[in-house]
Chains A and B, each alone.
Chain A
């Protein structure tokens, strides 16, 4: 536990508390610190830190920055809908909001470099300045020159500045075609189970012993470790279910040492939690509510329980027709929708690739004409091609039950795909008593 971080140039006791606040990341912290060097030394121009979600990347970096009181600018790239926002945040973090205000309306990279130079010449860096870019993968969608430029910003602005990129994906996916300065790669591995226990046990409840909480965490991980290693999620779940775990203790039915009894009490509950609250089928608020007024056994209906959609009559048939058009080869339409289609053998009739199940291949696009032709033949009454039939098609598209293929400004014979599942279409066709399976080529 007491790995002492050693790094000259930083106060000893801060380093000690740092080590204490960043458990299970000692190795990463110490190598990061040694890479950073002493505050006044020039550091390596850019680092790239990657690792799965909730492996402590930003937490470690930001804690180091804050505790050691290093000048830094932390930017989340999701927020930067344009490069300008990124520049602005960096400048205002280093030189105050007045500097950021000097940026022109749509700042380019060179504007940023120019301003940075101008500012840093008046206030040169006494310590290394750090720019931390969280979710750096978003930078790839921005201006293509931005990433290479930031990687060697130190050279460009001639200042003691280091860029730290944080991402969940590997560097290979970043490298631009034209090549660029290679940052130092740095991997944060996933926490092991023991490490998770150690970290989670730290936020134990004041009114219970740490040992009890640790055993609770062990039980929790026993259930969830196989599906979820996200520290944040696990902490959330631990918090949600702890009161249930303590219930026998509160009621005096068990003592803290009766781990087995407590385990028996909580285990089914946790399994239920895995199916509901973990998948966000039930909100955490509702989950807690349910725990409060428990024993009513009112099983909350999750999100996916409300799958039924009420649709107007013709919309149902349009959807069915779209499904048929999407999953039947166009050549089989004669067989299904003409009275005198003649006998067509399945095997001889089709090309090789059509023999595989169409449901495995997914929906295929079809033109509007084919949709309407099938629609008129499946619907049981004569329908006039009214404007509302057409508007129903477009409202099905807005409801995302159909999806339009290609650009939506294609007015001349637009193409669609059906975006609903077989179960859904079976439920829909049952309400209009239409046997959809009889018309599906895959089920012949």
Chain B
């Protein structure tokens, strides 16, 4: 039964991961569409430019696109891959992408370019195979490429009359050779300069176009290339979108989505977003983290079999095994739910499996309903508060989401200050915000949300109806000011104070309405934005072991080594090794003993003392009599074991040999354990 359960979970997990992957790819594509299209536009523009007479005469400037990719290097591969594919499909078959690591010298760079270009030529046409089969090292020049290009380009233009037919003008277009430098910063400047100089000699015959993938800023080009070289380039900058924007859309699609059954708890989100913001800026890694938590959730939580679409989950509940029903009974959220029930019901829930299943169905429905209502209201609240000064509830929706699912939002100070700020909102701002809310609510399709939408629209209507009234009032104010203009400062102050007091006494209709709106918003928040933990059965969908996630994704190699050495039990799980803190079990591996002993020493360690201490511990391990002659003496075996332990310590970087003192080693670490 459990095995079948496992395969179910695996299937669901697999399916969810596929949706995650698909969604992220779609997002990436959408987000990159703009910059990629403009790049293709740029290349096409130059492609025609090259064939025009004027350009030929113009000189050997090589069109170059500086593609700003941002510092999130792990994400670049995907963008560049899609760029490569796009170019090959729509512009030219001659696309080469080179990586700095492979091109330590110009020779290697040229070789790489030739290999990629001519190698592809072979796959297109079988006949050519013999003369491009093996590239002679000495033939590896751009002029060889020129020769090859002449035949290849002819073939390509003949082979694709369709593409040619699309063109309106009869200019014989020459297919450009696009070279993509994936990581521009990592290239050695000398290699780049030489390569550009060489290529610029051949621009007449070989229409090169360069694309520099730049992680930092375009001034990197000027830092690497002298004017004599950069004057050979015609550089245009293309900005790809920022990684934070990318993350926001991934977050929006995968986490703030009621359709996606797998959820992350607030702590887990904080860990993942923290890694993103503090460490790498990589959306790829964020998605990997999501994948890890997905796998971990389905692996560790047997009830995750219910973490799927509503219909499927309801079916699943009916076939729950007895074991799983028992597990449900032990869920903290379920126990909390049971406690709120009548005693009669409680008994039923604790004894009858069937009843539990029925209740579970109801609870699951509620959970889904909760999510369906939660996200629209969350978005509304965000759109209301995101324009407030200083962002009391966070600038990004993810921050708001985290605080909502963590605790009762309305009990926090930030919420209070946000509400206070909202209560002094000007009318046009309020209307604009409410209209945005209405827009959001339109896409939500539950009955309750439709109700809320109606109310919001009603408020908007009433606010707009106020138009005439308030404008009158404000003009009245203006008149008063006009009259008082000639009064002195003191009087002005007095009148202002008076006005202030009058305002507190008598609210104008707009203010009355505004407080109504705010009360309405507050009631929405209290009703729908309840913490997820309080929902019964929330454990089914929410993955919450943030500590584990942190340990796995943000590894601390040094701490692990120290734990392994000072508490070998932690990794070896051998009962003999279990000790109190601070003591050494004599049964521990030699390395651990040596490590423990070295912690007690100063900067320089006397090897002989260390050996003696080591031998003493060893003797204790062998249960030798403490009074006997042999105790603490070492034979060649112990000596050998000690030497091995010390050299292992040296290998791990804890000690090193020193010339300061004979028979001593220097300690390299401090503190720890």
Contacts and interface: CB of A to CB of B under 8 A. Distances in A.
Contact of A384 (B61, B106, B219, B559): B559
Contacts of B243: 310
Nearest to B221: A303
Nearest to B71: A311
Contacts of B222: 280, 303-304
A66 to B, nearest CB: 16
Contact of A387 (B58, B106, B244, B556): B556
A127 interface: no
Given A303-B221, A310-B281, A399 B215 contact: yes
A345 interface: no
Contacts of B45: 285
Interface stretch (A3-11, A74-82, A177-185): A74-82
Interface string A59-78: 00000000000000000101
Interface stretch (A232-240, A264-272, A325-333, A433-441): A232-240
B340 interface: no
B142 A79 contact: yes
Interface residues of A, number: 50
A399 B185 contact: yes
A388 interface: yes
Contact of B278 (A84, A105, A314): A314
Interface in A75-118: 76, 78-79, 81-82, 84-85, 88, 103, 105-107
Interface string A303-325: 11011111111110000000000
Interface string A268-284: 00000000000110011
A303 B231 CA distance: 13
Contact of A312 (B61, B186, B198, B280): B280
Interface in B194-224: 194, 197-198, 201, 215-223
A81 B234 contact: no
A81 B559 contact: no
A433 B64 CA distance: 37
A398 interface: yes
A286 interface: yes
Nearest to B138: A84
A25 interface: no
Nearest to A308: B217
Contacts of A236: 58-59, 61, 231
B71 A399 contact: yes
Interface in B529-566: 554-559
Given A105-B138, A233-B231, A398-B186, A306 B239 contact: yes
Contacts of A206: none
A309 B216 contact: yes
Contact of B554 (A84, A88, A106, A386): A386
A128 to B, nearest CB: 25
Residue from A107, A284, A286, A311 whose CB has the most chain B CB atoms within 10 Å:
A284
A53 interface: yes
Interface size class of B (residues with CB under 8 A): 35 or more
B558 A385 contact: yes
Contact of A307 (B215, B217, B279, B555): B217
A81 B183 contact: no
Interface in B37-69: 45-46, 49, 58-59, 61, 63-64, 66, 68
B105 interface: yes
B655 to A, nearest CB: 13
B278 A78 contact: no
A78 B197 contact: yes
A307 to B, nearest CB: 5
Contact of A306 (B218, B279, B555, B558): B218
A349 B446 CA distance: 74
B238 to A, nearest CB: 11
Contact of A392 (B58, B64, B280): B280
Given A306-B219, A384-B556, A312 B138 contact: no
Contacts of A431: none
A254 interface: no
A400 interface: yes
Contacts of A279: 227
A307 B219 contact: yes
B563 to A, nearest CB: 13
Contacts of B183: 398
Contacts of A303: 66, 218-219, 221-222, 235, 237
Contacts of A389: 279
B275 to A, nearest CB: 7
A285 B234 contact: yes
Given A78-B198, A239-B58, A306 B217 contact: yes
Interface string B223-257: 10001101101111101001110000000000000
A224 to B, nearest CB: 13
Nearest to B60: A232
Contacts of B279: 312, 314-315, 386, 388-389, 392
Nearest to A203: B57
B273 to A, nearest CB: 11
18 contacts: A78-B198, A81-B110, A85-B138, A88-B138, A235-B59, A236-B61, A283-B234, A303-B66, A304-B219, A306-B239, A307-B217, A311-B71, A313-B277, A314-B278, A385-B556, A387-B556, A388-B280, A398-B185
Interface of B: 45-46, 49, 58-59, 61, 63-64, 66, 68, 70-71, 73, 105-107, 110, 136-138, 141-143, 183, 185-186, 194, 197-198, 201, 215-223, 227-228, 230-231, 233-237, 239, 242-244, 275-281, 554-559
Given A78-B194, A303-B235, A306-B218, 8 more contacts: A79-B142, A85-B138, A283-B235, A285-B236, A312-B281, A384-B559, A395-B73, A398-B73
